Structure 1
Amino acid sequence: MPVSFLSNKQCENYGHYTGAPSPHDLARYFHLDDPDHALIAQKRGKHNRLGFAVQLGTVRYLGTFLEDPLAVPVPVLQSLARQLRIEVGSRVLAYRAGEQRWQHRTEIRRSYGYVEITERQVGFRLTRWLYALCWTGTDRPSVLFERAVTWLVTHKVLLPGCSTLERYIARLRSRVEERLWRSLGRGISGEQQKKLENLLLVPTGSRTSPLDRLRAGPVMVNSRSLVLALVRLSSVRELGIRLPAAARIPATRVAALARYAGTAKVGAILRLPHPRRLATLVAFAHCLEASAQHDVLKVLETILRELFGDAIKADRKARLRSLRDLDQAAATLAGACQILLDTGLPDGELRTRLLEKIPRTTLTQALEGVQSLIRPADNVYYRELDAKYRTVRCFLPALVENIRFGANAAGEPVVAAFDWLRANMRRKRPGNDAPREVVGKSWQRHVLRGDDSVDFHAYIFCVLDELHTALRRRDVFVAPSWRYADPRTGLLDGAEWEATRPIICRTLGLSADPEPTLTALASELDRTYRAVVDRLPDNPAVRFETTGDKHDLVLSPFDKLDEPASLVALREKVAGLLPRVDLPELILEIAARTGFTDAFTHISERTARAADLPISLCAVLMAEACNTGPEPLIRGDVPALKRERLSWVDQSYVGDDTLTAANAMLVNAQSCLVLATFWGGGEVASADGIRFVVPVRTVHAGPNPKYFGVGRGVTWYKLISDQFSGLNDITVPGTLRDSLILLAVVLEQQTDLQPTQIMTDTGAYSDVVFGLFWLLGYRFSPRLADVGGTRFWRIDPQADYGLLNTVSAHHLSLQKIVPYWDDTLRLAGSLKLGRVPAAGIMRTLQVGDRPARLALAIAEFGRIDKAIHTLTYIDDEAKRRATLTQLNRGEGRHSVARAVFHGKRGELHQRYAKDRKTSWARSAWC
């Protein structure tokens, strides 16, 4: 490992002032209290008293003494002189040449308890603290260096030499790495080691190694692709890699090694030392099982969706073709019914008259035709599904053999039926003891025969239908997995929840007992109703229309605000002052100003750098943000822009973690600009999606005819602050509802800005979203496109809300919330602490039909906040305009992203993994 990891500038700034301390730091480190004044008063001469004070403040602030004790910023000298009532003159400045400064250092060390790092107890404590940081995290050495300096200053330990501390941290990280490699390699048998090593060997006659084949996931959605994905999963399991539980290896460290094995070339892995190579392969095999299992279920979910969707389409086509026959048969039966209903005919002659007019053969044919063409209301389209049995038969044996589902109470019948299929799939005559709890009413006519036996084909499709629904709701799950895992895993529970409950309630501002919170919220809703009603006569934007017996509330759209001539002139003047700059020059300037390229560290060798690395990084970001590839940026005469250099940088430095860290640096830098503070304070953010067509074969894109036509695509869902900075983004298939990912994109953002008001368009909200956002301390403020169709909920059915009585007929029941209040708090606390994935929880809560009781309670809670928001939205024009302004900021930023992402007609051509940051998302930085 390289020992020197600090830049020349960092070494120069170490133990020195880099500028004037902030007012906060002046008050914290350079304020002299009474004991300080008493000690300073013992010094003879003003220059000694001021010099002593300066050295005392310096060692408090920097953790070391300066060679020139008075080489401090002017504000520091003025602050201390003012406290000591001393004028700074030439005599005072003579302190730097006196001998007293050396005695003062010794006295300060003795009086204030400053010690050297060489003391055994100090070194032991620092080593233990830093060792824990290295073991549990993946911070780069420069970050550890800064944390070590902070620890030394806090614990009154004089800073050692820069190179001394640098070598100390390098040796410590090396020890941690070696321990990690030994821990991962411990317990791996010789046979397992041989299997792992064989992954790197290219067989004779082949161009790829087994490792390359394992890293390649499915790219198509069909039964053959699913079988290959199951074979891949089986191959990973055959390695038999299990991490030793006693080692307690942090998941972040294992994931970092696995990422390296997943992207590095086989030759690079072969060149690693044996302990590290073995540890890297172990981590890769351990993490790959979850990824491979995710790929299997992703393909399965898509196949099932297409299977049942195609059955519906086939049924519709068949019905369209048979409409003429159905009409003829219906007309015949209608004629027969007219004869039967003729009251002028005696009952004894009905049959004779009927058969005289309509022959028995014709009537029988009409009846048979209608019976064959009519469909039940709960049709499951089994006839069309059964025609696809060969497709299902291709992958089902391998599926039941390799996948083991877990389930909650709602999914247990599905798992039981799936297990029965595993035991009977390969039998010629399956038993008749199939679990029947999974067979719903709509499937019973197909699954259960007249003799109470089970139709095996129909039972398979019934189980797959229920499995598809259960996967979508997360009633069934697998482990290990990073998307299809049990969403309840990690919820605060038992003694841990009892101990954490007070902290969660205090943090979120909620009460452990539901009554105070619900009473306060109900009172707020009532006050809001009455305040809005009182101002309705003076609100020209709101009117009521009556259609029949229905009363609708109508909210008038905004009138266009004409821009004053001064604003138009100012815009033109500013546009004329702005220089025309190429994107490469712009991103290089931003890199120089913010240093965001420092966040890009090597995927394995965290300290590995290269000459002109920022230039290479900016080129890679430009190539992928513009979607042009590296070709336009490759320069054979510039080492930093050669093809091999850009390829190495892209593979080794650009990843999810480094992109997130770099984005955080950019957001923080922009928030410090004076101009950005005029736009907003960072308390407001909006979320919206931008759609991209994906013309290549990939399982991570979805259909959406509205945006992608007959093709497939993805949605880039972005969280944007009121300072025009991108806080977070998630990439999802084009079919996923925005409300399922909105909470995740807000909770998982890692910048210093912490917005509390979240704005979206109409399609991103639901009652559950309102409830969860309020519980987590956010004010959810979606734009309401159709206020007339929005329900105005009320708690008190007897309350008189004047003109709003006609539109507020829907009543809330607080008794739906009270029994599940503790579970609601537990879920909110788990989300706040990051213990459970927000996207998985939203899938569980927003299932559409048959939601859980907890989901109903949260939705009922959300309706209260939704009613308050709706009322204030129609009452406050400024709120409506602010919401529209913020959403327009997001749309404007998306327009910039579209313009930058111009290559390949703005289409995505990468087969990326879902929920990973994609290359075109980097256009946000350009």
Structure 2
Amino acid sequence: MPGPPRLPKDHGHLRLLEGSYTFIRQFTPKVLEAVRFTGGTETRPLIEALEILRELNATGARNVPDHAPTLFVPARWQGYLDEAAAKGDATAYRHYWELCTLLALRDGLRSGDVYVPGSRRYDNPAAYLFKPAQWEEHRAEFCRLVGKSPDFSEALPLVMDELDEALSDLEDTLKPGDGPVRLNEAGELVISPLTAEDIPSEAEELHGELERMLPNVPIASLLVEMDRHTSFLDCFTHAGGKQARSPQLKRNLIACLIGLSTNMGLHGMAASCGIPYDVLAWTAEWYIREETLREANIVLVNYHHKLPMTSMFGSGTLSSSDGQRFPTRGKSITARHLNKYFVPEGISTYTHVSDQHSTFGTKVIVATHREAHYVLDEILGNATDLPITEHATDTHGVTLVNFGLFDLVGKQLSPRIRDLGKITLYRMGAKADYEERFPTAGPLLTKKANLDLVADHWDDLLRLAGSLKYGHATASLVVGKLSASSRQNALAAALKEYGAIRRTIYAAKYLSDPVYRRKIARQLNKGESLHSLRRQLHYAREGKVTRRQPEQQNEQAWCLTVVTNAVVCWRTEYMGLAVGELRTAGREVDAEVLAHISPARSSAVNYYGSITVDYERELAQLDEKGHRPLRTVATDDPAAGL
């Protein structure tokens, strides 16, 4: 008996789409009629197929001409066309050929291999870069800023020295053969997970004592106090340029920030604080927008950066980014279904966090989009005083394109990569040479980098990095296109080749230095602690985002970031005051112990129940320095913290 029919190479994906052919036909002919597409030489068969499809739509013809190109059809779909042709089924052939054409067009637009002249998002990728004349003006300054030579023959020895130094350290790590990073009998890397960090018991005890000394405040009082110190509410300017500010404006702004960040909404906030809804709605409409929220956030981050206690947490040179998922209520073009995080639909907020626990970047992205495309945006657009030089992510934030671009713009990408031992490591010379110099680590470098390709496009790579560094192009747009580009895109191929070299250098450093691994893990944990704080603040409506438009969702995400940073600022300042009081009383408080204490907690701050926003009354409760008195509760008091 014949066995069951073999599944197609794509496991039936194209056949599933063919079931929606009638629906797709409702709009694709109009799109093809209205938009003209073009591309490089390698996309000529696809452009020709689009012209044929456009003509078929215009004339109403049903059969695909015999000369219609199929070179752009991937091997996993070619079987559908061959089967329809063998059966003489012209209708099925038309369906599959048209679907293959449209899917190839989609992929080409994503990668930039196909483009729409004049479009902001889908233009020729070369349009996102400095024009040659512009680059001539910026090249010398850019190379000086990032420490790169414009001549690859001068840059190459420096990169080779970096790789040799990293491999030398890795060789010393692997030689004993019994450490947490070692080779097994098959010559494969074995990387034992990091042990739990040994946090001094004094840190937990001190943290508890400091918590009991902090005053208990409602969230509205906290925001009033932070405005007293930073004037961050002055950043909320009228969208029409209106200069006069009513006496009640700050009160209304605080109510709006609380309503949007806690997800109560303006209706819920109006019921809670007694300010009429129409007043809050008018304030939010004219004053709260991404531009003003960003400015307010910069003020808070800069204030936090200068607090004496902040330097105990970190230097401000290291940051991390990660996505946080929030379920949505109702339909939204940014919402997607993800079983792992929410049963219906939801969105992601992608946040950038410093090693000082402050959040300096926020962006709402589609939950199914790759996070790696958005890593560089806030790093290059950082307008705070944080001197970020190194950035950590998890596996979702890593691509070869990112490794290459981070180095080219003068930053260090330091991710925590899952299954690091399985990635391909590159060498920059002959295999025999590396195995002779590094007998243990050398055999791990299984592929040789194409240095000629990188050399041929070195100036273009610098021009690309310079275009991003100077804000001529958006990093997420360019990274997304380069990551999806085909092998025929020489610039993308050169960048990925250079990124593979940088990833190999990083991997060798990461594997040979447990302190480096610990630092990255600690920074990513700081991001997780801020996720937890944001989740606690975003409590209303079961934490579901109810706003549907992307602009509204982005504004709400920024409101949450501003309020989160205000809480972190307030807690950092009062923890510093508490430490100062302990030291005045003769207690010795070690700076190394303070490094293990986090301000990213919600204790001592109340944001539930009815909320009273009385700006002047709150100011009257502060002393001449703008502070509240610390609590003096005995460490063993059972009522402490209630």
TM-score class, shorter? 0.7 to 0.9
Aligned to 1:895: 532
Pair 1:603 & 2:239 matched: yes
- Paired residue type of 2:2: A
Residue 267 of structure 2: which of 608, 625, 631 is its match? 631
Q: In the alignment, is the contact (CA less than 8 A) between 2:334 and 2:550 conserved in 1?
A: yes
Change in Cα spacing, 1:387 to 1:867, as seen in structure 2 (3 Å) is closer
Deviations 1:174-231 (A, max 9, x none): xxxxxxxxxxxxxxxxxxxxxxxxxxxxxxxxxxxxxxxxxxxxxxxxxxxxxxxxxx
Cα deviation, residue 608, structure 1 = 4.6
Partner Cα separation in structure 1 for residue 143 and residue 477 of structure 2: 23
Deviations 1:555-589 (A, max 9, x none): 33333344444333312210110112111111121
- Name which of structure 1's ranges 578-587 and 527-536 shifts more when overlaid on structure 2: 527-536
Partner Cα separation in structure 1 for residue 225 and residue 419 of structure 2: 45
Deviations 1:163-182 (A, max 9, x none): xxxxxxxxxxxxxxxxxxxx
Aligned to 2:25: 393
**Partner of 1:862: helix, strand, or coil?**
helix
Deviations 1:25-64 (A, max 9, x none): xxxxxxxxxxxxxxxxxxxxxxxxxxxxxxxxxxxxxxxx
Pair 1:776 & 2:412 matched: no
Change in Cα spacing, 1:480 to 1:903, as seen in structure 2 (3 Å) is farther
Residue 759 of structure 1: which of 392, 397, 402 is its match? 392
Cα deviation, residue 488, structure 1 = 3.0
Cα deviation, residue 384, structure 1 = 4.2
Aligned to 2:6: 374
Pair 1:742 & 2:380 matched: no
Cα deviation, residue 627, structure 1 = 0.4
Deviations 1:138-180 (A, max 9, x none): xxxxxxxxxxxxxxxxxxxxxxxxxxxxxxxxxxxxxxxxxxx
Partner Cα separation in structure 2 for residue 845 and residue 838 of structure 1: 10
Q: In the alignment, is the contact (CA less than 8 A) between 1:730 and 1:915 conserved in 2?
A: no
Cα deviation, residue 857, structure 1 = 1.5
Cα deviation, residue 447, structure 1 = 7.4
Pair 1:726 & 2:359 matched: yes
Partner Cα separation in structure 2 for residue 468 and residue 553 of structure 1: 39
**What TM-score, normalized to structure 2?**
0.79
Q: How does 1:155-170 map to 2 (within 5 A)?
A: none
Deviations 1:723-769 (A, max 9, x none): 21111112111111111111223222332323010011122112221
Residue 688 of structure 1: which of 313, 318, 322 is its match? 322
Q: How does 1:550-629 map to 2 (within 5 A)?
A: 550-629=186-265
Change in Cα spacing, 1:379 to 1:573, as seen in structure 2 (3 Å) is closer
Measured on the aligned residues, the alpha-carbon RMSD in Å equals: 2.9
Partner Cα separation in structure 1 for residue 316 and residue 411 of structure 2: 13
Partner Cα separation in structure 2 for residue 412 and residue 603 of structure 1: 47
Aligned to 1:432: 65
Partner Cα separation in structure 2 for residue 463 and residue 388 of structure 1: 15
Q: In the alignment, is the contact (CA less than 8 A) between 1:783 and 1:884 conserved in 2?
A: yes
Pair 1:789 & 2:422 matched: yes
- Paired residue type of 1:883: I
Residue 697 of structure 1: which of 292, 309, 331 is its match? 331
Change in Cα spacing, 1:463 to 1:785, as seen in structure 2 (3 Å) is closer
Change in Cα spacing, 1:433 to 1:493, as seen in structure 2 (3 Å) is farther
Q: In the alignment, is the contact (CA less than 8 A) between 1:446 and 1:458 conserved in 2?
A: no
Deviations 1:78-108 (A, max 9, x none): xxxxxxxxxxxxxxxxxxxxxxxxxxxxxxx
Aligned to 1:707: 341
Q: How does 1:416-431 map to 2 (within 5 A)?
A: 416-429=48-61
**Partner of 1:504: helix, strand, or coil?**
helix
Deviations 1:463-510 (A, max 9, x none): 212122223223334466554444432411232223332222222211
Q: In the alignment, is the contact (CA less than 8 A) between 2:173 and 2:182 conserved in 1?
A: no
Q: In the alignment, is the contact (CA less than 8 A) between 1:664 and 1:751 conserved in 2?
A: yes
**Partner of 1:917: helix, strand, or coil?**
helix
Q: Which structure exhibits the higher relative contact order, with contacts defined as CA atoms closer than 8 Å and separated by 6 or more residues? A: 2
Aligned to 1:674: 308
**Partner of 1:712: helix, strand, or coil?**
strand
Cα deviation, residue 812, structure 1 = 2.4
Cα deviation, residue 830, structure 1 = 0.8
Change in Cα spacing, 1:682 to 1:456, as seen in structure 2 (3 Å) is same
- Paired residue type of 2:353: I
Change in Cα spacing, 1:748 to 1:886, as seen in structure 2 (3 Å) is same
Cα deviation, residue 925, structure 1 = 2.5
Change in Cα spacing, 1:849 to 1:918, as seen in structure 2 (3 Å) is same
Pair 1:329 & 2:38 matched: no
**Partner of 2:349: helix, strand, or coil?**
strand
Pair 1:652 & 2:286 matched: yes
**What TM-score, normalized to structure 1?**
0.56
**Partner of 1:394: helix, strand, or coil?**
coil
Change in Cα spacing, 1:557 to 1:386, as seen in structure 2 (3 Å) is closer
Partner Cα separation in structure 2 for residue 395 and residue 768 of structure 1: 34
Partner Cα separation in structure 2 for residue 389 and residue 420 of structure 1: 18
Aligned to 1:463: 101
Aligned to 1:80: none
Identity %: 29
- Paired residue type of 1:837: T
Q: In the alignment, is the contact (CA less than 8 A) between 2:401 and 2:496 conserved in 1?
A: yes
Partner Cα separation in structure 1 for residue 495 and residue 40 of structure 2: 20
Partner Cα separation in structure 2 for residue 912 and residue 637 of structure 1: 26
Aligned to 1:861: 498
Residue 906 of structure 1: which of 523, 533, 543 is its match? 543
Residue 515 of structure 1: which of 129, 133, 153 is its match? 153
Which is greater in Rg? 1
Change in Cα spacing, 1:610 to 1:481, as seen in structure 2 (3 Å) is farther
Higher helix share: 1
Aligned to 2:614: none
**Partner of 1:584: helix, strand, or coil?**
helix
Change in Cα spacing, 1:411 to 1:691, as seen in structure 2 (3 Å) is farther
- Paired residue type of 1:529: L
Change in Cα spacing, 1:504 to 1:380, as seen in structure 2 (3 Å) is farther
**Partner of 1:866: helix, strand, or coil?**
helix
**Partner of 2:188: helix, strand, or coil?**
strand
- Paired residue type of 1:746: I
Cα deviation, residue 913, structure 1 = 1.9
Change in Cα spacing, 1:377 to 1:659, as seen in structure 2 (3 Å) is same
Deviations 1:804-843 (A, max 9, x none): 2343333323223111111111111111111112112112
Q: In the alignment, is the contact (CA less than 8 A) between 1:728 and 1:745 conserved in 2?
A: yes
- Paired residue type of 2:415: P
Partner Cα separation in structure 1 for residue 194 and residue 19 of structure 2: 55
**Partner of 1:488: helix, strand, or coil?**
helix
Pair 1:820 & 2:452 matched: no
Number of matched pairs: 553
- Paired residue type of 2:390: Q
Deviations 1:676-697 (A, max 9, x none): 1222222111111111122311
Partner Cα separation in structure 2 for residue 451 and residue 787 of structure 1: 50
Change in Cα spacing, 1:819 to 1:855, as seen in structure 2 (3 Å) is same
**Partner of 2:457: helix, strand, or coil?**
helix
Partner Cα separation in structure 2 for residue 588 and residue 491 of structure 1: 45
**Partner of 1:802: helix, strand, or coil?**
coil
Q: In the alignment, is the contact (CA less than 8 A) between 1:491 and 1:826 conserved in 2?
A: yes
Change in Cα spacing, 1:447 to 1:615, as seen in structure 2 (3 Å) is farther
Partner Cα separation in structure 2 for residue 632 and residue 767 of structure 1: 46
Partner Cα separation in structure 2 for residue 382 and residue 574 of structure 1: 61
